[in-house]
Amino acid sequence: MLSNVWHCISVQDIINKETCFCLPQNLTTRDQGTHHEESYNMNEPAKTETPVVSTKTEKSVETKPSKGKPKEKETARETIESIVFAFVLAFLFRTFEAEAFVIPTGSMAPTLFGRHKDMQCEQCGYTFQFGASSEVTRDGTVLIPNSRIHEARCPNCRFSNPSAFASPPFKGDRILVNKFQYELGTPKRFDVVVFKYPEDSKTNFIKRLVGLPGETIRIHHGNLYRVTENGREEILRKDNPNKQRVIQIPVYNDAFPCEALKEAGWPNRWAGVDRTNAEGSIAGWSEAPNTWKLNEESRSYQLTKEGQKPNQPTWLRYRHFAPKDSTWMSIEANDPVEPRPRLIGDFCGYNTVVEDTLRRSSTDELFWVGDLNITGSVDIDEIQEGANFTIELTEGIHWYRCHLNPNTGEARLVRVEAGLNPDEEIELATANTSFKGTGSHTFWFANVDDRLCLWIDDDLIDFGEAANYESSELHGMMPDASDYTPVGIAMQGMTGSVSDLRILRDIYYRGSGISLENGELLLDNVSEWQRAYRNHGKEIDFYEIQIPEDNFFVLGDNSPMSSDGRFWETTHTVPRQAFVGKAFYIYWPHAIPIGVDSGYAVTLSYHKKFTRQGEIVTDRSYPLHYGPFYPNFWRMKRIR
């Protein structure tokens, strides 16, 4: 469904030769971007629980009757046929029953966007989205006093963009929900579901279903676990890795370097390195400028014969030099910067906004994330006997590698226990791939939810069950100094280049709403972070629930900002009868206005605001909708 207008037919309409069109409820017939007034408390802000608004209303449009009086025999026949046809249509509509909803808030970001803004970073040019539902009351048009967003922090270079204040806001995603699916079968784990909020049955919510009836679910270290009868924990993961891949969160995109950071002396995050353990090295890795060479224009890293290490891999590694707010303050003041590598945390650009000009932005980045992905392109110029292309992801004392042989196309998965012997590789699995010969390939290597996944040229490589492993709380759940530089790429016996390098992380499900004190600062010091987590992890990052029969447990994908089953007051689960249906398609993300920055766009409507007397008036300083616009086809997609 690629339109926000439904075409419905009723029995009486067919008999009367009339057509009925359905427009979304929160749209007027004059302007499809303007909400109807609803019976909400106008002083109440939009909630992060993500109540979804049904868009099911009707408006009839009569057609002109045909000229000429038909024959009586034909009229009777057409009437009978119309009645039969109407019953068939009614049955089909019941079979494939669907309803449209609008997402108002961001508790399911990045899977689903609520009211938000699009931003192109002023410093690095990276495009990202940030939530803006906190600006308005629940009808989406009336501003809450002193709630305007003044800045938004870029997830790529961490610059706080002041242009966020004037950026145009957009309504949340409009989605289709299959209501009949749960009438025939039961909801499945990891479905995105719409349900009646257990504490207010008049409100529809949308979350991801993670726990089934009768299960005991635990949350810790960002992962979801099911507790078995013997007390063992089984990690919960998506069965299909392709579905897992679409909900990964960006950490760094190398195609968008920041010139201001470079001029201030900030190091490039990717660099050719040698293992030397010299002073100033990062986890034993020191820069080797004569190995991999960066082409600034194409953002590609080239390895030639002259730069190769003989009979050993030549490494290109990512160092997580993520700037902090203090970094940008130093640059603004023309003071020296102090680059320090950090642990990758659960930073989410959708949430990092500033609503008060008197304080700086807060990242709400508290917990180390070890489940990472690396994706990019490789161009192979020349291969020799024994050639090998290696991709490495570290997670604490466990290092996971994928060796690709360009002579045979074979892929090997291995694990290194760095705490025991960093030079010994433990074989896990092998498979055949299309990675063969010279030429270009794309790759995506993931270590998520205790499973290694590899895509070559966008094809998932089947390693079978051997790609799954089991970590424990004693081994692999705490960061190590190697996690300052958690991603590596190496070539041996071959020359070529890599480009389009992106690092992503998995969703980190928090165990509570309690913050790790100074968590953002502790990510600079792995020893201090380990100590703080060992002392307080059970208090701040642990949750367990026993799900009653015929009930389910749900969470939001935007874990830091989702008030879901973890935090409800009267119940923590959703009864079976409360389910409305399964969300399956974004049929109308926000339209893209044309000419807003250049001044050619036409303002169609404005926000409203409260006066000091409590009256609601038009705020002509803050446009709500612009025209002309075109559909956002790129985000029309299935919901995974």
Active-site residues, by number, are 107, 207
Question: What H or E segment, with its residue span, contains residue 212?
Answer: none
CA–CA distance, 638 with 10 (Å, rounded to integer)? 28
CA–CA distance, 532 with 608 (Å, rounded to integer)? 46
Supply the DSSP string of 60-99, one letter for each residue.
Answer: EEPPPPPSSPPPHHHHHHHHHHHHHHHHHHHHHHHHT-EE
As a 3-state breakdown, the chain gives helix, strand, coil percent values, each rounded to 5, of 15, 35, 50
Closest CA to 566 of 538, 536, 544, 548: 544
Cβ-based neighbour number of residue 390 at 10 Å? 18
How many residues would you count in the chain?
640
Cβ-based neighbour number of residue 578 at 10 Å? 18
Closest CA to 395 of 487, 274, 321, 276: 487
CA–CA distance, 582 with 52 (Å, rounded to integer)? 13
Supply the DSSP string of 447-491, one letter for each residue.
Answer: E-SSBEEEEETTEEP--GGGGB----SSSSSS--GGGGS-EEEEE
Asked if 159 contacts 124 with a C-beta cutoff of 8 angstroms, the reply is yes
DSSP E strand boundaries for 113-185: 116-120, 127-131, 151-153, 160-161, 169-170, 174-178
Retrieve residue 632's tokens.
Answer: 């956002």
Cβ-based neighbour number of residue 619 at 10 Å? 16
Asked if 95 contacts 339 with a C-beta cutoff of 8 angstroms, the reply is no
φ, ψ for residue 443, nearest 5 deg: -140, 150
> Which DSSP category does 172 fall into?
P
CA–CA distance, 548 with 595 (Å, rounded to integer)? 54
> Which DSSP category does 589 fall into?
-
From the number of C-beta atoms within 10 Å of its C-beta (0-12, 13-18, 19+), residue 396 rates as buried
Buried-state track 279-300, b at ≥16 Cβ within 10 A, e below 16: eeebbebebbeebbebeeeebb
CA–CA distance, 587 with 148 (Å, rounded to integer)? 29
Cβ-based neighbour number of residue 202 at 10 Å? 8
Cβ-based neighbour number of residue 426 at 10 Å? 12
CA–CA distance, 271 with 274 (Å, rounded to integer)? 10
What residues pair up with 422 in beta bridges, in sequence order? Answer: none
